Amino acid sequence: MVAKMAQAKRLNITIFGIGALGMLFGSHLNRVAQVTLFDNWLAQLTALRRDGLSVTHPDGRQSHHRLTATNQLQQILTTDLALVLVKSHQTAQVAQQAAQILHPTGLLLTLQNGLGNYEQLAHIVGDERTALGITAQGATVTAPGQLYYAGSGPTHLAQSPAQSERLTVITDLFNRAGLPTTLVNHADGLVWGKLAINAGINPLTALLEIPNGTLAEPSQHQTMMIEAALEVAQVAEAQGIELPYTDVAQRVIEVCRATATNHSSMLQDIKRGAQTEIEAICGQVVKHGQRLGVPTPMNVRLLTLVQAKENGENVKQALACS
């Protein structure tokens, strides 16, 4: 059905979330589809409506994009693809909203960080209309309506027989939009592989308020980063999940270097006083570790420190003693 629709007209895509990745995917997909961004971030909505989106690319090039953005669900047309790029704590609400606008044969695709988002979405929309993806695209909101594109990375979509035709169309659409995308049969390894990177990098960059690249240099904090990522690998191994790389320490440092100028999504949240995704990242690692009997002391530490920082506590001394 989706393939036939794609041949007949531009697909209607709704992107839930107007943070860095929401705007990045919106600016790309708007070239090949009818895109509407949905969120309640008023400063961002105002800037997008008034001035559009300005993107600074890794090579210094500037581009400008006019995007349709709204906080009124009734203004959104029936959607062929709903792309979920909100924070994990907003997932349940988005599931309810997406259920109201999604075409009966449409797909709800999550590219979010952390664990548990797919399950929340599928509970409301159904497994047959919910898809899971992992993306390594990197971007930072520098001001409302201003985006720094830190660098392109691959996106992987997990396919199932019931969704094969629809996901093939979406994969082709993403690639035509300049978002390198491939289909994979099993996503668990990729999900846990990304979780290890997120657990290592995001909390420390948020706590120290530094760009990713700072953690690429040998230090006490790099050691903490590696320990957190290794704990995720150990929890994954206990479940029989194989990560998409063999050397976790090397991989997390490589990602720091490849995204050196990027401000992690958790750091961006801390800077604007928003709730972070620490529960969906380190919190989930701790939860699964407890269930499986795998110790995760560094993830417990980072979870506690980020929660304290969210509550306005000064964590510098506690971090230095870690």
Question: Dihedral (C-alpha) 287, 293, 297, 301: value to the nearest 10 degrees?
Answer: 20
Please report the pLDDT score of residue 317 as a whole number: 74
Helix (H) or strand (E) holding 304: helix 297-310
Q: How many angstroms separate the CA atoms of 264 and 140, rounded?
A: 7
Mean pLDDT of 244-266: 93
CA dist 59 → 17, 87, 137, 154, 178 (Å): 26, 28, 15, 18, 16
Q: Token digits for 200? A: 């290592």
How many percent of the chain have pLDDT more than 90?
84
Mean pLDDT of 41-56: 96
Please report the pLDDT score of residue 318 as a whole number: 74
Q: Is the dihedral of CA 53, 58, 59, 60 positive or negative?
A: positive
- pTM recorded for the entire structure: 0.90
Confidence check: pLDDT of 162 > 90? no
Q: Is residue 322 very low, low, confident or very high in pLDDT (cuts 50, 70, 90)?
A: low
How many percent of the chain have pLDDT more than 70?
96
Please report the pLDDT score of residue 5 as a whole number: 45
Per-residue model confidence as pLDDT tens digits over 180-239: 999 998 889 999 999 999 999 999 999 999 999 999 999 999 999 999 999 999 999 999
| Secondary structure string (H, E, C) spanning 154-193 | CEEEECCHHHHHHHHHHHHHHHHCCCCEEEECCCHHHHHH
Question: Dihedral (C-alpha) 193, 285, 161, 181: value to the nearest 10 degrees?
Answer: -30
287 closest CA partner among 232, 218, 247, 214: 232
Please report the pLDDT score of residue 8 as a whole number: 44
Domains annotated for the chain, with CATH where assigned, are: 2-184 (3.40.50.720), 188-320 (1.10.1040.10)
Is-contact 13 79, C-beta < 8 A?
A: yes
Q: Is residue 161 very low, low, confident or very high in pLDDT (cuts 50, 70, 90)?
A: confident
Q: Token digits for 240? A: 């029989």
Confidence check: pLDDT of 58 > 50? yes
